[in-house]
Amino acid sequence: MQTKKGFHDIISTIYYFYAKYSLSMLHFEYTIYSAILIAILAVIMLLFNLKSNKSVIFLFIFLVLHAAYSITHTLLAFGDPTDKATIFFTTILLNNAAPLWWLRGPFLYFYVRSVLNDNPKLRKTDLLHFLPFAINLVAIIPYLMTSWNYKTTISEKAIGDVQFILDYNFQLFYPHMINNYLRPVQLLLYIVAAFFLLFRFYPRLKTAKGNISKQYREVFFWLSGLLLLLFGYTIFINYITFGYFRAPFLNHLSPSILNVYSLSYILFCLLPILILIFPNIMYGMPKVTAKNSVPDAKPVIPADGYNESVPHKNFSFDEEHFVQLSDEIIRYMENEKPYLKHDFSFHDFSTGMKTPQHHLRFCLSCVMKKSFADLKNESRVNHAINLLNTSVAETISIDGIGKQSGFKSSSNFYTSFKETTGYTPSEWLKRNGNGE
């Protein structure tokens, strides 16, 4: 009986360490790869949307910081202290990047606020949000001044050794564990504050009408889903953090904890993917002017896009403003003819209209039901038709008319003309009695 029991204990011990190692490696790979994917997608998201809406900068910074934060803590908890790559990246991130983790909450808050207020500009009072970052940055200056070899030694000792992390002070002038405990709490508070902004905005959402109502609701649900995901994740991380330092690995390596932990990072990958699939999310909530109750008074546009002193009922959220903007777009294209420039870009369009790009994109997509490329090509084709219907067609070739209409190439001209009119330029001439 003792032999059987001893054999059973040996098998159980082997299985335990095998499961422990396998689960930790599974979590390590999922988290690292997911975090890297988040960072890559965040860069793509920024490149595609930066010119449209500056608010995306805040979301980009948050996602990259979140990815780097998760990589750092995964390396420390599950990394191999003998692996050179693990040691190298841990040395770069450990404590050197600690002040940056305090910025996740503020930049998330800035993103939500800028979308709701339709204004990405920071205020002077926003400097207070950077105070924890500044304090931590000053605190790590002595550590930053140490040699690379010293930091490498610290990293080798810290990887996988919770007790070392608990005991070592990283040359701060305050207990460094304050950072580990308070950072997740700080992020949670900022998430709650962002929820409060959404809650405060909700009564105004009900006044939206027409196509703008659909846009507002989509963005509102996007922000709500983002914050709910972050809220659940942060609650989970707080539980893990406080439990981990009390009993390292006991609850950190259970299958349920690891699966949820890895799943949370996979879900985070969906955030930038959703933006790439549904770019209209980046249009934000374009503000319509706030109307005074005084008859014939000029509309008031708050400097920050949102004014607490103006009652909610005084804000107009129907699409009339954007219908007027669509008329202005048509007049601008007809009168200024900016499309005649071969390199006419959306930036040029926004500058010429003196209107934010995300307002123009929303107006084109939701009100005019066309893309910027369609707007350019239709305008160029109409200009070419006017030229074809005049005596100019007798002295300039069809290809020349295409170039004078703003098309870069003959193939682009012929394709766009066919898509718009159903005929080629030559067929159009013959059909209208101008051909041979």
Q: Which of 231, 264, 283 is the last residue of a domain?
A: 283
Question: What is the reported pLDDT for 110?
Answer: 95
d(CA 277, CA 42): 13
Range name among 5-9, 34-38, 414-418 with the lowest pLDDT average: 5-9
Looking at the fold, whether 63 and 111 belong to one and the same domain comes out as yes
| 174 in a structural domain | yes
- Cα separations (Å) of 6 from 1, 2, 13, 14, 406? 8, 6, 11, 12, 85
Asked if 158 and 164 count as a contact pair (C-beta separation under 8 A), the reply is yes
270 and 185 inside one domain: yes
Identify whether residues 168 and 84 lie together within a single domain: yes
CA R_g for the chain:
29
Does 6 reside within a domain?
Answer: no
Last residue of a domain, one of 260, 283, 306: 283
Q: Say if residues 290 and 302 touch (Cβ distance below 8 Å).
A: yes
Question: Using one digit for the tens of pLDDT, what is the confidence trace for 48-76?
Answer: 777 767 888 999 999 899 889 888 888 88
The yes-or-no verdict on residue 101 having pLDDT over 90 is yes
Check pLDDT > 50 for residue 23.
Answer: no
Chosen domain end from 283, 299, 333: 283
Instruction: Decide: 355 and 287 in contact? Cβ < 8 Å.
Output: no
Q: Answer whether 27's CB lies under 8 Å from 261's CB.
A: yes
- Residue 86 domain-assigned (yes or no): yes
Q: What is the mean pLDDT of the chain?
A: 76
- Do 219 and 334 belong together in one domain? no
Number of structural domains in the chain: 2
198: containing domain? 18-283
Query: How high is the pLDDT of residue 208?
Result: 66
- The CATH number assigned to the domain holding 166 equals 1.20.1070
Locate the DSSP E strands across 286-375.
Answer: none
Name the band, by pLDDT with cuts 50, 70 and 90, for residue 293: very low
Q: Which of 160-169, 299-308, 421-430 shows the lowest mean pLDDT across its residues?
A: 299-308
Residue 51 lies in a domain: yes
Spatial contact of 67 and 42, defined as CB atoms under 8 Å apart: yes
Give the span between the Cα atoms of 249 and 317, in whole angstroms: 53
How far is 76 from 13, CA to CA, in rounded Å?
A: 25
Residue-level pLDDT at 254: 57
Residue 70 lies in a domain: yes
- Check if the beta carbon of residue 39 is closer than 8 Å to that of residue 68: yes
Which has the minimum average pLDDT: 20-29, 118-127, 244-253? 20-29
- Is the distance from CB of 35 to CB of 67 less than 8 angstroms? yes
- Written as one string, the DSSP assignment of 50-71 is TTT-TTHHHHHHHHHHHHHHHH
φ, ψ of residue 300 to 5 degrees: the values are: -105, 125
Pair (359, 277) in one structural domain: no
pLDDT over 70 (residue 29) = no
- Domain contains 25: yes
Per the structure block, which two tokens stand in for 25? 């490696």
What global pTM score does this model have? Answer: 0.70
Q: Judge if 148 and 278 occupy the same domain.
A: yes
Would the pLDDT of 394 be above 60? yes
My answer on whether 269 and 329 are in the same domain is no
Do 324 and 266 share a domain, yes or no?
A: no
Residues 201, 254 within the same domain: yes
Torsion on CA atoms 405, 408, 411, 413, rounded to nearest 10: -20
Same-domain status, 375 and 273:
no
For helices 255-277 and 210-246, the axis angle rounded to 10 degrees is 150
| Distance separating alpha carbons of residues 413 and 312, to the nearest angstrom | 49
Sign of the C-alpha dihedral computed for residues 128, 50, 59 and 93 taken in this order: negative
> What is the three-class DSSP state of 300?
strand
Query: How confident is residue 288, by pLDDT bands cut at 50, 70 and 90?
Result: low
Q: Which positions ≥6 away from 135 have C-beta within 8 Å? A: none
Q: For the packed helices 148-158 and 84-93, what is the interaxial angle rounded to 10 degrees?
A: 110
d(CA 196, CA 199): 5
Q: Are residues 204 and 102 in the same domain?
A: yes
Q: Could you tell me the CATH number of the domain that includes residue 394?
A: 1.10.10.60
Pick the closest to residue 379 from 347, 317, 336 (CA basis).
336
Range with the poorest average pLDDT among 78-92, 141-155, 232-246 = 232-246
Among 106-120, 219-233, 261-275, 319-333, where is mean pLDDT lowest? 261-275
| Residue 361 shares a structural domain with residue 274 | no
DSSP per-residue codes, 216-254: HHHHHHHHHHHHHHHHHHHHHHHHHHHHHHHSTTTTTSS
Indicate if the pLDDT at residue 41 is higher than 60. Answer: yes
Q: In the structure, what pLDDT confidence band is assigned to residue 349 with cuts at 50, 70 and 90?
A: confident
Report how far Cα 116 is from the mean position of its chain's Cα atoms: 15
> Is residue 345 one of the residues assigned to a domain?
yes
Q: Is residue 131 part of a domain?
A: yes
